[in-house]
Structure 1
Amino acid sequence: MSSFTFNNARKEFVQIAKGWKRPIWAPLKRNFLSVPGYPGARLLNTQTEMRVLSIPVGIIVPDDGDLELLKEEIADWLITDEPVELIFDVEPNRTYLAVVDDSFDPDEFVTLGIGTITFICPMPYKLGPTQKKVLAIDEGGNLKAEFRNRGSVESNPIIDITVGAQSPFLDVWNDNDYFRIGYPVGYKSKIVKEDERLINDDCSSLKGWEPFGGQIGKYLARGSMEVVGGKAFRASDYGQSELNKWHGPFVMKEIPTIGKKIGDFKLDIQFALQSTKYDQMGKTIAMVLDADYKIICQVDMSDEYMSHEITLAHSSVGSGENEQLLSNETGYYIDTFNQFSGHFALARRGNHWRVYCAKYIVGTEQDGASFVMEWYDVGNWNPNTTKEPKYIAVGCVAFGGYYPVNVCQIKDVKFWRINTLEIDETPYIFDVGDKIQIDTVRSLVTINGTNAIALKDIFSTFPIVKRGQNEIIVRPANVGIAELTYRERFR
C-alpha cells in the first residue's frame, strides 16, 4: 500500500486503499453559445476548474496508541490555513497544492480505521520540480535564457535581479510580449540621479564607524558594538545601567557630501527586534545628526513594555522642545510588529516629512505588514526641517536593569541625497546592489522588498513562461545578475 506527503510530513500509519485512481487531468468546463438557426452551438471558451481528490485511506493504529492524541496529531497535520504541497508516493515528481475539505472528521477516521480524505486544489495544475535559469550574455549582446517548458500549460515565473548598473528602465521580453518598469529613453534624454545614494552599508564590518560616547538625545551612549555573523551590528556590551535610563552602544558615520550641500534626503534602515521573553525591553535605533551631533530625525523599533511583548515603530523629528512625533505604531494589531524583521524609511522633501515601515514576510525580504505616516512642517517652525545632515548614528539600547531584547540588530544602512529634477530629466529607478523581484504569481514587482508597481508601464504585462520554447531577454543587458525561477505545470 502507498501513502502521501502533505504539509512536508507523512504519517506511516496512514495508507491509501488499493484500487484508487487519480484523475488524469483537472476538470474542464466547456462554455457554449447556442444561436437560433445555427446547428449545434459555438464553443466560447474552456475553463479549468478546481481539482478535487477524494482519497480512500486506512489507518493502522498502534496497539498502545492513545486515540485522542492520534486524533490531535492527524488534525494538526491535515488542517492548514493555506494550500500546501501534496505529493503521492506513486507520483513523486508531481506536486499538488491542496487543502483538506472541511467535512473531514478525525474522530470518525480514527475510530473506524477507514475513511475518505478530500483534498481540494484551488490551483488545479500539477507542478513539476523547481527550475532555475540564470540569464547570460549571448553572442548578440542580449542578457538571455533559452529553454523549453515541457509542461502542458504556461507557468508563472519569479525573476530576481541583483543590480549591477543604474538604469531608468527595466524590460523583460519573451517573443513579442514585454514587461517594463521605468521610463524608455532616447539618445537625447538626460538621465540623472534623483535619489543619489551616499551611504550603502550592509553592516558586515564596523570599519568606517566610530563609537559615540556620552548623551545622545535621551539615551546614554555606552558599552560596545560588534558584528554578528558578518551581517549585522548588535551590542556586545550595553554598558553600566542606570535606573529608568536607556543605555547602550552607538556608532556613527559621516555622510559624504561629494561637494554639494544636502537638502532633501532619505534614510532606510533594516532592523531586527525579537524578544524571547515578555519581560525583555530594548530598542534598535538610527538617527540623522547635524554638525553639532544634535538629532535631526530618528527611527527606531522598540519594546518599552516590561510585562508584555509589544513592538512599536517609532519615528520623530528633532529632540527635546523641538521634537515632533511622526509615528508610534504597533501595526494593524497590537502584535503586528512583534518578532520584527524588516525596514524603516524616513524622507525629508522640503517641509514634507514621510515615514514608511514594513515587516518582511517570513522567510523573505519582501514587505508585508506596513504603514505610512506624513507630516508637513507648515512655515518651517521646526529648525530640523532646514538643517543639513552630517552624520548617521545607529545604536542598540536596554532599559535600566531589565533584560535586553534577545535579538536587537541593525542589518543595513542606506542614505540618499534627493535631487530636484528638471522638466526634461529622466531619473534612474534603481542603483547598484538593489534587488528587484518580478513575481508574476502575485502580479507584484518590488525593489529591495518595497512595492514598485507604480513604475510599471500600463501597456506591458507580467511575463509568463509559455508552453514549449521560450526566449527570455532582460534589458538593458548590463543591468546585473538575472535569475528566473519557475515550475512546469501539467493538466
Structure 2
Amino acid sequence: MPYKLGPRRKIDFKLQGSRLITNISNNGSKYSDPKFTIYVENPSTFIDVSRKKEEEIQHFRMGYPVSVEERTVEKEQLVMHDEMKTMVGWTQNGPNTDEGENTGTLKSDGERFVIDNFGAGSKWHGGVARKSLKEPLQDFTVEAIVECWNQNSAKSMGRVEIYLLDVNSDVIGKMVMAEVHVNVASNYGEIRAGKVNEGHHIISTTGDSPWTWNDFTGRLRITRVGNFWAADIARILEKGGYDSESYREYFDVDERYSKNQLAQIMVHIGGWKEAPNLNASINDLKVWKYNKTTTLEAPYIVRKGDVVEIDTADASIKINGKDAIYTKDLFGDFINIEKGTNQIEIFPSDIGQVEVAYRERYL
C-alpha cells in the first residue's frame, strides 16, 4: 500500500543516569525504518540497540560482550598514522614506479603531499617518498586518502599511487587513482596484490561508469589477512560519508603474494611524458596491524574515532563507510520505530555520541 513520508526527524540520545536512552513518539500510520549513527568515543567489542514499546521488545546486536573469562584485545591496531603535514620521516627515493622513472620530487604544503617537480621522462615520471614501519607486518590494512583532479583538461594525465614494499623494497601490492586516457576525462582506480606484470588485480576499473571517479577525493584501502585480500575504493562526500564504492575480495590460494611482510610504504605522484599534468595529492595515510586472537580474547569491533551507521531501511551496517554486516548477531533484528511511543536504549552507555534519524509514514 502506498504511503507518504513526513519530514526527516533527528534525535540525539542523552545519558539518563547510567543509561544512554531516548523516547520517540511515532505519530505516523505505521512503523518507521530508522538510521542510527554512532560517533565512537570508547573502544568496544559490541554495540546493542534495544527498543521497548509496552511489552514488546526488539533487540539488535553487533559483536558480542566480554565474559568474565575473556579479555579484550585490539584486533586491528593502528601502527602508523601520517597526516602528511611534513616530509620528516620520509625519504625521497625508492624503487622505480611501475613503468616509470623517479625523476621528480614531492613536498608537503602543510596539509598534504603534493608534487614539487615532476621532472622529465619518456614515460611515467614524478616524485616518490618512502617511510618504514616500526615493525614488518604479516596481516595488515593500508588506507590512503587521495585526490586526483582530472577534469580541468581532457588532455591532462597523471597518477597518485601507494606502494606496499617488503624489507628488500620489493613491491608486494599497490593502490592507484589515475587519469590514463587520451583526450577524455575518465579516472581509473586500481588495487593490486603483487608486482606489476606478475600480480593479481583485485580492482581495475573506472567505477560504475567511465566518469564515476572523475575529480576524485576519496579513499584507497587494501587488506591482507593470511591469504585473504580485500580492496576498496570510495569517493568521500563533501558532507561526510562515502559513495561510488567498489569493493572486491580475493583469495590467494597458492600464496603467491601473501608471504612477504609489509615493511615500508612508498607514495608517488606522476605525470605522463609531456602531457599536461593534473592536480593530485596524498592527504592522509594509515596502517593497521591485525593481531591474532585466542578463544579467550574478544576483539574490539570499533575504536575511538570510528563512525558506525546502522540503517534499517536497507538492512546495512557500515563502519567508516565500509560494509560491516559481518559484525551483526544472527539472532538480532534491525530496529523499527513502531507507531506510538518507543523507548530506545544503546549499550554500552559510554560508547559515544548517538543520533537516530527517521521519517514517519502516513497512509
Whichever of the two has the greater Rg, that structure is 1
For 2:301 and 2:48, locate their aligned partners in 1 and report how far apart those are by CA, in whole Å. Answer: 13
User: What amino acid maps onto 2:273 in structure 1?
Assistant: G
Mapped contact 2:126–2:268 kept (Cα < 8 A)? no
- Give, as a single letter, the amino acid of the residue that structure 1 aligns with 2:260: K
2:143 match: 268
Listed one character per residue, the Cα deviations across residues 235-263 of structure 1 (whole Å, up to 9, x for unaligned) are: 25343222323213x34443234xxx522
Partner SS for 2:154: coil
Could you say which residue in structure 2 is the equivalent of 1:135? 13
Shift of 1:367: 4.6
Q: 1:285 to 1:167 in 2, by over 3 A?
A: same
Residue among 199, 216, 223 paired with 1:347: 223
What's the % identity of the aligned pairs? 23
Distance 1:189 1:288 in 2: 35
Instruction: Work out whether residues 195 and 418 of structure 1, in 8 Å CA contact, stay in contact via their aligned partners in 2.
Output: yes
Letter in 2 for 1:244: K
Kept after mapping to 2: 8 A contact 1:213/1:221 = no
> Which amino acid is 1:475 matched to?
F
Matching residue of 1:206: 86
- 1:188-223 alpha-carbon deviations (Å, 9 max, x no partner): 22332322221244x363375525236543341633
> Paired residue for 2:231, among 356, 362, 373?
356
Kindly indicate whether the alpha-carbon contact (under 8 Å) linking 2:91 and 2:131 is maintained by their aligned counterparts in 1: no
Q: Structure 1: where are the runs of 5+ without partners?
A: 1-48, 51-123
Deviation by residue 1:443-476 (Cα, 9 ceiling, x = unmatched): 2110111111122122222223333333322111
SS at match of 1:255: strand
Q: Which of residues 161, 174, 178 is equivalent to 2:51?
A: 174
- Report the residue type matching 2:35 in the other structure: I
Match of 2:67 in 1: 186
Q: Select the structure with the greater relative contact order (CA < 8 A; seq sep ≥ 6).
A: 2
Does the CA contact (< 8 Å) of 1:358 and 1:367 recur in 2?
A: no
Deviation at 1:171, TM superposition (A): 0.8
Which among 294, 307, 320 is matched to residue 435 of structure 1? 307
Q: TM-score, normalised by structure 2?
A: 0.84
Distance 1:417 1:490, change over 3 A: same
Q: Secondary structure at the match of 2:182?
A: coil
What amino acid is aligned across from residue 133 of structure 1 in structure 2?
A: I
Could you tell which deviates more after superposition, 292-301 or 143-152?
A: 143-152
Cα pair 2:10 2:355 within 8 Å, conserved: yes
Show the counterpart of 1:235: 114
Q: CA deviation at 1:168?
A: 1.5
Q: Helix, strand or coil for the counterpart of 2:69?
A: coil
CA contact (8 A) 2:125 2:271 kept: yes
The size of the alignment, in residue pairs, is 354
Residues 423 and 234 of structure 1: CA distance in aligned 2, closer, same or farther (over 3 Å)? same
Name the residue aligned to 1:220: 102
Structure-2 change in CA distance of 1:172 and 1:412 (3 Å): farther
Tell me what 1:38 maps to. Answer: none
* TM-score normalised per structure 1: 0.64
Deviation (angstroms), 1:279: 1.3
Between Structure 1 and Structure 2, which shows a larger proportion of helix residues?
1
CA distance in 1, matches of 2:353, 2:325: 21
